[in-house]
Amino acid sequence: MATERPSKSAQKRAAQAIRALADELVSLKPALVGKVVADEDVASAVREAQAINSHGALRRQKQYIARRLRDVDVDAIRDALNALQADDKQDKRLFRAAEQLRDALLSEPAQTQSLLDAAGVSTSEELHDTLRRYASASDTRTRKQAARSVFRQLYAAMSATPPLDLKTNQD
């Protein structure tokens, strides 16, 4: 008996998925290509595609990448891309949480310690000094500089130990 092979539609869907993966790889930052793609031939083809400006040449290079991807484990590449995207989402949530905490701290200076405790952020004397500098500043420029400094300090502290309620701020 003849073995069942995938239908022509299934073959086309698989080919389109590999072309889409090739497009995604080309759109990555050059520093991340080596982390996502283990096969050096595919990685070098992706780096070459990232340097191409001509539309037609880029299209052909993407076709070449797709052809090379048929010979490697694309599931491992997809897993690595998904992990990068998850990290990116986590960073965005952390950034948003730090912004919200900064805004709350600047608008309610009397609640500083309770807000920081609720967010699970360890405080430093530098943060308190920056908050005092923000509160006592009379000109806009100094207030903006202090607000940026508060954000940087909060983001660094929250990156070291993510707050407990970070999961509730999902996309």
Q: Quick one: pLDDT at residue 117?
A: 78
Q: Quick one: pLDDT at residue 167?
A: 44
Render each residue's pLDDT in the chain as its tens digit; 171 residues: 567 888 999 999 999 999 999 999 999 998 899 889 989 999 999 999 999 999 999 999 999 999 999 999 999 999 999 999 898 899 999 999 989 989 988 888 778 788 887 877 777 788 888 888 888 888 899 999 999 998 998 898 888 765 444 444 444
Q: Quick one: pLDDT at residue 42?
A: 93
User: What gap in Å lies between CA 44 and CA 41, rounded to an integer?
Assistant: 5
User: What gap in Å lies between CA 147 and CA 138, rounded to an integer?
Assistant: 13
Q: Quick one: pLDDT at residue 171?
A: 41
- The 8 Å CB, 24+ separation contacts for 54-62 are 58/26, 61/26, 62/19, 62/22, 62/23, 62/26
Q: Is 120 left (phi over 0), alpha (psi -120 to 50) or beta?
A: left
Q: Quick one: pLDDT at residue 166?
A: 44
Q: Quick one: pLDDT at residue 8?
A: 94
Q: Quick one: pLDDT at residue 163?
A: 46
- Of the candidates 149, 171, 33, which has an alpha carbon nearest to the alpha carbon of residue 90? 171
Name the pTM for this structure.
0.62
